[in-house]
Amino acid sequence: PPVDPKAGDRIAKLLARAGVASRREIERMIEDRRIALNGVVLETPATILKSLKGITVDGKPVAPPETARLFRYNKPTGLLVAERDFTGRPTIYDKLPKELPRVVPVGRLDLNTEGLLLLTNDGGFKRQMELPSTGVERSYRARCFGEVSQDQLEELIHGVEIDGVQYGKIDANLERRTGRNGWVEMTLTEGKNREVR
């Protein structure tokens, strides 16, 4: 059920905002009886609080949340945008500087995609930036193979449906072509999974 903002927020949300861990991990920490309020171990993630006063994790008081910060990361190919991969593939967290605070990615880039990835220490800001209604434009350059014309790309401005998934407007331009290889620049505001592909 939605939380009344006057009553406060769920503890997992507050602790995630304070940079302790992700909401999911915090729920696991509560199950493992690692989080307490005024010395009393919490038993449910449905706990609603106005602040983190009196909250401890593993017996240590929780520091108040930092000011929201945004970091730029030039993601190379071959890294997953994930906290961990159970098959052992490298993630961005294996390569990020160790002195960074706990950060979360704003959106995702595929394993074989390189380029600008924004990171933030504020989960609420991350979600706001990712919402299509916020209107943040994302631009991509993609290599294509075959006969692709600017006229075909112009049609994407009205959106497109592929395999039953409806994609919003895409502003696409053919940058250059050499033989059957070309480069296309696309600007979109949704960033749905596999949309550029």
Which candidate in 58, 110, 163, 171 is catalytic? 110
In the predicted model, is pLDDT for residue 186 greater than 60?
Answer: yes
Band of residue 6 on the pLDDT scale cut at 50, 70, 90: low
pLDDT of residue 136: 86
Question: Which of 141, 150, 130, 154 has its CA nearest to residue 187?
Answer: 141
User: CA 156, CA 146: separation in Å to the nearest integer?
Assistant: 17
Torsion of the alpha carbons at 69, 74, 79 and 80, rounded to the nearest 10:
40
4 labelled catalytic: no
Question: Average pLDDT, stretch 3-11?
Answer: 72
